[in-house]
Structure 1
Amino acid sequence: MPADGAAIAELAQASVLDVFPAYYDSVETASAAEHITTLDTALIDDGTYYVHEAAGEIVAAGGWSRRNKLFNASTAGADERLLDPATEPARIRAMFVRADWTRRGLGRAILTACTEAARAEGFTKLALMSTLPGVPLYKAFGFTEVESAQLPMPDGIVLAGVAMELPIEETA
């Protein structure tokens, strides 16, 4: 819901600041905390963003998109064009779990909800651009690496990432 925006943004920033230092240096982490955690209200407006609450707090969030944008902080291909489910993959976007709530199945539950919703709209494949901390979750869910990627942030910092895909019919 739009009212969740501030809590989601706070979760995203805390997640990056807590988890990214194991994968990126301090400059890269600071850049990611500023640019990757920018709330994308289109996901909320589209009804494709999910949260997990515990004791009244949002502890995990993530979603999928039927739009062309691949990841926060990206500008290339970040238009509002709707994807064609017959020929293009739905996008997994903006996955964040609070550091003290990792390894409890919340990311998997959100990915399952995303997969089911995208399948219901006719998509047969999911695609995402993962930062390094997300790769283990996505691999465990069944995503395969397509290629390593360099993710340019608006401030000129470049993060290592991985493009990944999953045929939807392989998840059930």
Structure 2
Amino acid sequence: MRSAYEEEVLSPALQVMTKANPSLLSSGKFYLAILPTGLVVGCGGWSPEQPGKETVEQRLGHVRHFAVHPDWTRRGIGRSVFTVCVRAACAAGLMTFECNSSLNAEKFYRALGFVRIREIDIELKPSLMLRGVLMRRNIYEDLVS
């Protein structure tokens, strides 16, 4: 993330972003990509709730906490996890995914078919904001194709 953010912003942001989210981890909507050796090389999930809020919009889901081990990028790990998320979300009746993307992850989400809506400030905790991008993608088309 150093390519997109200054160290004085990134350091406190990573302290918040790398903490486990127990409700997401136990939701059944968070997935791991694990090698036969047991090494976790990727993760990601989705939720019907807007990140940091309890707000739920009918047929709208939110992509959450995607990451790929640095040694395993550009090998389809993130896309594979995303495909699992799309199938599960469609089965739950969702039609659209939104994503609060970091600036450096925008290219990844665009490759998955997301469209940039606008730049946003993502509140990681009170008085700690991270510049990001709100992105959106229709997932219903994946269900019917």
Q: Is the 8 A contact 2:106 2:133 kept in 1?
A: yes
**Are 1:84 and 2:58 counterparts?**
yes
- Under a length normalisation based on structure 1, what TM-score does the superposition of the two structures give? 0.76
User: Structure 1 runs of 4+ off > 2 angstroms?
Assistant: 81-85, 152-158, 169-172
> What value does the CA root-mean-square deviation take over the aligned residues?
1.7
3-state secondary structure, aligned to 2:140: helix
Give the AA of the match of 2:50.
K
Cα distance in 1 for residues equivalent to 2:126 and 2:140: 39
Alignment of 1:86-125 (within 5 A): 89-125=60-96
**Are 1:44 and 2:18 counterparts?**
no
Cα distance in 2 for residues equivalent to 1:23 and 1:161: 10
Q: Is the 8 A contact 2:94 2:140 kept in 1?
A: no
Render the CA deviation track for 1:126-171: whole Å, top value 9, x for unaligned. Answer: 1110001211111001000111111233263432100011111233
- Under a length normalisation based on structure 2, what TM-score does the superposition of the two structures give? 0.89
- Percent identity, aligned pairs only? 28
The residue that corresponds to 1:16 in the other structure is none
How far apart are 1:83 and its partner, in Å?
Answer: 4.4
**Are 1:56 and 2:30 counterparts?**
no
The residue that corresponds to 2:4 in the other structure is 23
Give the AA of the match of 1:53.
I
The residue that corresponds to 1:69 in the other structure is 50
Gaps in structure 2 of 5+ consecutive residues:
none
Render the CA deviation track for 1:7-39: whole Å, top value 9, x for unaligned. Answer: xxxxxxxxxxxxx11111112221221111221
Cα distance in 2 for residues equivalent to 1:168 and 1:82: 17
Aligned length: 142
Structure (1 or 2) with the greater strand fraction = 2
Gaps in structure 1 of 5+ consecutive residues:
1-19
Structure (1 or 2) with the greater helix fraction = 1
Larger CA deviation: 109-118 vs 37-46: 37-46
1:138 to 102, 109, 113: 109
